[in-house]
Amino acid sequence: MAVTMHDVANLAGVSIKTVSNVINNYQYLKPETKRRVQDAIDALGYRPNLSARGLRSGRTGVISLIIPDLRNAYFAELADEVMRAADAKGLSVIIEQSSGDRERELNLLTGPRTSMVDGILYSVLGLEEDDAHLLDRIETPMVLLGERIFHGPTDHVTMRNSESTKAATSYLLGQGRTRVVAFGAHRGEVIGSAGLRLAGYREALAEAGVPYDEALISEVGGWYRLEGAQAMQKLLASGVTFDGVVAFSDVIALGAMRVMQEAGIRIPEDVAVIGFDDIDETRYTLPTLSTIDPGRAEIARVAVDYLQERIAQGARAIPPREYFADFHIVERESSAVLA
């Protein structure tokens, strides 16, 4: 079988407690003892059994990240940032894909695998504000991401949806654009990314004294590129005129750009476009896509920090916190000011 602490202890001539102390960096250790144990560890190639540690200590050093889908670049990049933040703290990450499905999300929050993780980063998509009470019963330390549930029973780390979309809209209006499309609305949604972003759009219009025009509100079925393309086809077919597009995600903006370009619309000459998310790809499209950087890296870092605190102190020991990352506008070719 594999090398155990006993083997190391025997070789070093100490008790297993001392080996444990060395591994866990206990402070009161004679340098000489520490060295001898370390030598034995190296000589035997000892690696601690994390299942045993997990069983005894109640900590596995693993957290899970529940996201809808890695095929979505936004979530792939979020996962990347979360893994880097976790890695810096010695934590491993199990990614669970929910497809944004309500039942699947609930299963992931309470299923057998939860006994394997110290905490959960839950990017809420299937559940809604009214479901917040369902989270009360979850004993695993948890931090919420996303825009579906505010004021839940635990920490929430998210972005400034309304403010940043307001800023994006004001930015296009400030360029002299007068007919700006809100691209990516979800009918009837108030909470949720689309609802909050639409509210920011309206605020910007109001502040600039530009009348709200229902015809410029474009619904997009979801967050996939194809859905953006389809919505833009519909918008163009409706005959409405516009000279700016504030898209509620980069991916749907890219789908829309393709349709506009095929229709002979020049970007930014005829229509200025700004997206949302600042995914890598936006720096390489033709034209490059202006966008909102919502502070994804900061979100990942703070979420892991919060989760770690909650793991250390107990899931309910800390009152729920809310954190909004800083955003900023990234200006690129799709909204370049005309000469």
| Per CB under 8 A, 84 contacts a copy of itself | yes
| Per CB under 7 A, 48 contacts DNA | yes
Assign 3-state DSSP to the chain and report helix, strand, coil percentages, each to 5: 45, 15, 40
3-state secondary structure of 315: coil
| Per CB under 8 A, 107 contacts a copy of itself | no
Site string for a copy of itself, 265-294 (x = CB under 8 A): ---------------xx-xxxx--------
What is the maximal distance between C-alpha atoms in the chain? Answer: 84
Q: How far apart are CA 112 and CA 109, in angstroms?
A: 9
* Nearest alpha-carbon partner for 275 in 200, 174, 169: 169
Q: How many CA atoms lie within 13 A of 29 on its CB side?
A: 20
Q: Which is nearer to a copy of itself, 217 or 315 (CB)?
A: 315
Choose from a copy of itself, DNA, none: what does 5 bind? Cβ within 5-8 Å by kind: DNA
Least distance to DNA, CB of residue 268, Å: 58
> For a copy of itself, which residue of 25, 32, 103, 112 counts as binding (CB under 8 A)?
112
Choose from DNA, a copy of itself, none: what does 4 bind? Cβ within 5-8 Å by kind: DNA
The residue whose two tokens read 């899931």 is 315
CB burial of residue 190 (10 Å; 0-12, 13-18, 19+): exposed
Cis peptide before 287 (omega within 30 of 0): yes
> For DNA, which residue of 53, 84, 202, 258 counts as binding (CB under 7 A)?
53
What part of residues 25-44 is at the interface with DNA (CB under 7 A)? 26, 28-30, 32-34
Binding site residues, a copy of itself, CB under 8 A: 2, 47-52, 54-55, 60-62, 69-71, 73, 76-77, 79-80, 83-84, 87, 92-97, 110-116, 139, 225-226, 229, 254-255, 257-258, 261-262, 280-281, 283-286
